[in-house]
Amino acid sequence: MRIRLEAVSLQKAGNQPSENEDAYAPESAGASRGAGASGVAPFLAAVADGATESLFSGHWARLLAGAFARGEVPDAQGLLAVLPELQRQWHAHVGAKPLPWYAEEKLREGAFATLLGVRLSEQPTVDCSGTWEALAVGDSCLFQLRRGGLLRSFPWSSPPRSAPPRSSSPRMCTRTDAWAHR
Amino acid sequence: MAYSAEISRTNPACILILIDQSGSMEEPFSGSQRRKADGVADVTNRLLQNLVVRCAREEGIRDYFHLGVLGYGGEVGPAFRGPLAGRSLVPVSEIGHAPARLEERTREREDGMGGLVREKVRFPIWFESVANGATPMCQALGRATSLVGDWVRRYPDGFPPIVVNISDGQPTDGDPTAVASELRGLRTTDGEVLLLNVHLSAHAFTPIQFPSSDAGLPDAHARLLYGLSSRLTPGMLSAAREEGLQVGEGARGFVFNADIISLIKFLNIGTRPSNLR
């Protein structure tokens, strides 16, 4: 399986690059857990969109995307299992700073981010086929393109009318497919 | 579509609160021992706090809003205390950094395991209660028209300014219809200035919230305030429905015989920022 990873991220209009609350992982295709080890190990990548309205949501988004890319989030149950440790890391990060009254108040609300993770697995016995599996929380979206056309999107087939509630449940999708490129 | 402009630091929103500080604000709220003046001061400080917190980010407070409080009673003028005294419309970052004082208060919150924990919090105070003099509402609306007029010339494409007028009585300086109409006639490319009115009551009447017509209103004063009030924007209609209120499409930004609960609800609905960039 040949994989090329390219990440593109842009802050909102009027914001500084340092105010971009989006995150992705891994940094490069070679940094994915298992990639290149045997040729059949799954490739993991994730994006997370930190909510503009919450504080330190960029850090929370980086923790979520990183955990998925390291293989710590196998499925929805796995996400729930890893959350307490990620929350501890987030609190350790933000609690280390002296904060003004308004930041103290806002931190009580926590931070919010979407998560969209995809796992690509090659089938060693079947030529030219593989499986992708995706997990999504919130309104980030995966698009599968082939020859310039949209094959499938997940979890949204059309733009959501409004942002999903902060307590969205994770959604999973598994699909077996012939790869476009090998 | 009107009232859809994004609120950003280059196009901030403006919220101006007009507060009746006449002598009758000494009376308690309906169903409460609390003076109306004290309740309104607390709710106003809480509103300012919520807006500051909403704009707080890692690097500080983003100036999505410019906020002002005008008092009217014995005097008509800016009502901030402390370092902001005398200022009319102030960027929210300056408000966050300059409360007159910080009170330590205790509050209860859910502990996530079905129980409650008490915690100490710092509560900022910008505005203190005042109750003396008459009800010069026309003067207050005139001052608001001047401030908001300057604002829309400065930010002609921004979200239209929101003016909230909180009062417990009839104007003592004439009929406010013309000056209110002038205020509502100011506009940005995104729509006309929004004027919302809250009438506070010392009596235990059921509040009339966001009426769509003046047919059921009890007296001429209620009908006058209804006539001064703007229609709710689509965003405010959604916010009202989220609060569990039944509001029609033509609902006005007006509550009559408000108690403290309906005042808090009203401000949540009328000032909720839904389109911060």
Per the rule left: phi > 0, alpha: psi between -120 and 50, beta: everything else, B144 is alpha
Using the beta-carbon criterion (under 8 Å), do B59 and A53 form an inter-chain contact?
no
Is the per-residue pLDDT at B72 higher than 50?
yes
Decide if B9 and A13 are in contact by the 8 Å CB cutoff: no
The pLDDT value recorded for residue A73 is: 94
CA dist list (Å): B31 to B36, B206, B259: 11, 11, 8
For chain A, domain boundaries: 17-178
Of B61, B109, B276, the CB nearest to A102: B61
Q: CB-hemisphere CA count at 13 Å for B252?
A: 23
Residue A174's pLDDT is 67
Cβ proximity of B68 and B17 under 8 Å: yes
Tell me the two tokens of residue B230: 């703007």
3-state secondary structure of B241: helix
Residues whose CB falls within 8 Å of the CB of residue B12, separated by 6 or more in sequence, listed in order? B63, B64, B65, B66, B91, B92, B155, B158
Quote the CA–CA distance of A15 and B57 in Å, as a whole number. Answer: 12
Q: Distance between CA atoms of B68 and B80, rounded to whole angstroms?
A: 8
pLDDT at B269 > cutoff 90: no
Digitized pLDDT (tens) for each residue of chain A, 182 residues in all: 778 899 999 887 777 888 889 999 998 877 655 544 445 678 999 999 998 878 889 999 999 999 999 999 999 999 999 999 999 999 999 888 788 999 988 888 889 999 999 999 887 666 667 889 999 999 899 999 988 999 999 998 887 766 666 555 667 676 665 543 33
Joined together, the tokens standing for residue A105 give 């108040």
Q: Contact B99/B124 with Cβ under 8 angstroms?
A: yes
| pLDDT, position A37 | 44
User: pLDDT value at position B277?
Assistant: 58
Cα B60 to Cα A57: distance, rounded to the nearest angstrom: 14
- Residue B124 has its nearest CB partner, among A52, A58, A101, at A101
B209 in reach of chain A (CB within 8 A) = no
* Mean pLDDT to the nearest integer, B214-219: 88
Separation CA B211–CA A104 (nearest Å): 38
Q: Do A58 and B96 touch (CB under 8 A)?
A: no
State how far the Cα of B7 lies from the Cα of B85, in Å rounded to an integer: 26
Per-residue confidence (pLDDT) for residue A15, from 0 to 100 = 78
pLDDT in tens, B122-167: 899 999 999 999 999 999 999 999 999 999 999 999 999 999 999 9
Who's near A177: CB < 8 A, 6+ residues apart? Answer: A129, A130, A131, A132, A144
Statement: residue B258 has pLDDT above 70: yes
Q: 3-class SS at B162?
A: strand
In the block, residue with structure tokens 């949501």: A57
Cβ–Cβ below 8 Å for A106 and B276? no
Taking any CB pair shorter than 8 Å as contact, residues of chain A touching chain B are 12-15, 18-19, 52-53, 55-56, 58, 100-106, 108
Query: For residue A45, how far is the Cα from the chain centroid?
Result: 7
The candidate with the shortest Cα–Cα distance to B23, out of B41, B44, B37, B38, is: B37
End-to-end CA distance of chain A: 5
> Where are the domains positioned within chain B?
13-270
CB of A34 within 8 A of CB of A42? yes
* pLDDT confidence of residue A169: 61
- From chain B, the residues in CB contact with A84 under 8 A are none
Candidates A14, A52, A100; nearest CB to B9 = A14
- Class of the CATH-defined domain B13-270: alpha beta
pLDDT in tens, B103-122: 998 888 877 778 888 888 88
DSSP labels for chain A? ----------PPTTS-GGG--EEEE-SSGGGSTTTTTSSSS-EEEEEEEB-TTSTTHHHHHHHHHHHHHTT---SHHHHHHHHHHHHHHHHHHHHTS---HHHHHHHTT---B-EEEEEEEE-SSSTTEEEEEEEEESS--EEEEETTEEEEEES-SS--SSPPPTTPPPEEEEEEEE-S--
pLDDT of residue B161: 96
Per-residue pLDDT tens for B79-97?
999 999 999 999 999 999 9
Name residue B166's beta-bridge partners: B19, B198
The answer to whether residue B53 neighbours chain A at the CB level (below 8 Å) is: yes
> CB A14 to CB B277 under 8 A?
yes
User: Hey, of B8, B49, B53, which one would you mutate to test binding to chain A, going by the most A CBs within 10 A of its CB?
Assistant: B53
Q: What is the pLDDT of residue A177?
A: 58
Average pLDDT, chain B: 91
AA letter at A72: E
φ and ψ at B250, to 5 degrees?
-90, 20
| H, E, C per residue of A70-117 | CCCCCCHHHHHHHHHHHHHHHHHHHHCCCCCHHHHHHHCCCCCECEEE
Interatomic CA distance for residues B150 and B156, integer angstroms = 10
pLDDT band at B276 (very low <50, low <70, confident <90, very high): low
Query: What is the β-pairing status of strands B187-188 and B191-192?
Result: antiparallel
Average pLDDT over residues B190-204: 89
How far apart CA B197 and CA B177 sit, in angstroms, is 13
Chain B residues 73-132 with CB within 8 Å of chain A: 96-97, 99, 102, 109, 121-122, 124
Higher pLDDT, B205 or B66: B66
The two tokens of residue B53 are: 């917190």
